[in-house]
Every structure is written in structure tokens, then in C-alpha cells.
Structure 1
Amino acid sequence: MKIGELAKETGLAPSRIRYYEAVGLIGSDRGLNGYRRYSRETRQILEIIVTAQQSGFSLDEIRNLLPPQGKAEWDRDKLLAGLRNKLIEVEALQLRLVETCAGLKAVIAQIETISPGGDCFDNTEGVLANIRDQAKPSR
């Protein structure tokens, strides 16, 4: 199929499809007229790429998980290892986000207790001192 057809079927811009080809994620053949021709499997690979990106995978990570171009064989163990590694990264990110959320809520609560007015520098210094105290490891 031509790039326009593939773009219509996948909802991707032709430029994005060409980019994925340029970075080696998908392949194409050139017809006698010079137009790119894509296989039916390319549509499926593009869906996998988009879904993986939405799940937080970088293009390099995706490239390492996809079967080599022209091969339909997936390395199951490599795929599972890559998915498990991403899950570990996501879970660590979730923990950092929970900590960041708690920190932001604490700062908001501290600022809300300060009466309006007063010296902005002194108010800021007090909030920062509280943050530094909370960040110190407990013994």
C-alpha cells in the first residue's frame, strides 16, 4: 500500500511514517515509479510503535523490542524482559510522583498558613527552612 493509504488507515501523518522509516523502525519497498510501498504488517507495527510510545517507551527501546525488519519472529524473552523493565521504571516513577505530590501539598499548606502581607523574603525563607527540615533523614 502507498503511504497515503497507510496514513489514512493508521491516522498518522505521512511525515511521521517517513520518520519511523528513516530511524529504522519500519521498512518499505520502492516501486518502479519510485513511490514507497508498505506491507500490511507495517500497519500493525505502526500501531505497536504508537501504543508503546503512549506507554512511555522511547523509540530506541521500541527498536530493541521489535523483530528485525523483514522478520516476523519476535524474541519472546527479550520482549518480556523489556516490558518488565519498563514496568519497574513506571512503578519507580509512580513512587516519585507520590512523593512529589505530598511535597507540593505540604508547601501549599505551609504557604496557606502564612498571613498575607509581610516580607516576601522572610516568608519564603521560612517555607524553605521547613522543606529543608522535612528533607533531612531521620535518625
Structure 2
Amino acid sequence: MDPDPDPSRFRDLMLDSEPGFEEVLRCVFGVQDHEARLYLELLDAPDSTVAELANAVDRDRSNVNRGLSTLMEKDLADRRRRLLDSGGHVYQYRATPPDEARELMHRTLDEWAAYVHDRIDDFPNGD
């Protein structure tokens, strides 16, 4: 994960008294709204193609491709290549299962907390 996390991305999460799963996902992983929607769509429709996802989330294919790249970088999705009977191939995408995503969230927050504790320890003593 990010060795020097941006604490500002957690500010909204800490200030929200009852954040939902999507808000937590966005804050913890630093993803955009449409990327969080893509993740949720992939949970509902595993093995979707870019075209199917673009239609489902009402975004153009280039935006969906960029969002999927971000999700894969964050270990929130993966892709598989499927050969077509007519020749060629298509990529299908699948969300990281929720239990694994939860574990990633816990690990990311633990790393962020350690980062904050280090900053506190660096605070001058005032002697």
C-alpha cells in the first residue's frame, strides 16, 4: 500500500458520523465515485466486459477502462482473458471478493494509523 498516505483523504471519513460502505471504499483506497460504483457493479455482475460495464454505469468505455485500471492497481479487481468462438478475445473483470476487500481496508487503515502515530512521535517535546 501507500508508504506515505495522504491523511487528507481520511478527513471526510472521520467527520462523517455514519459513513456507508461506498464512502469508506472511496476514502480508504482513494478512488473516485465512479470507480467505487464500478467495484459495486462488478460485485453484482462478475465477469463483465468493458462494454457491459459502460452500459451499466452510464459512462464511456475510456472512463470505464481507466476506472478498472485504478481498481486493479488497488487490488480491488482483476481481469481474465476469454477467447471468443468467433476468434479473438475479450477481457472480463471481476471484483475482489468483499471479505478480501475488507481485509485490504483494515490493512490500509492500520498502515494509516501507524503513519499518524509516527507523526505524533515526531512531535517536538517542548523541552
- TM exceeds 0.5? no
What is the TM-score when the length of structure 1 is the normalising length? Answer: 0.31
Higher relative contact order (CA 8 A, sep 6+): 2
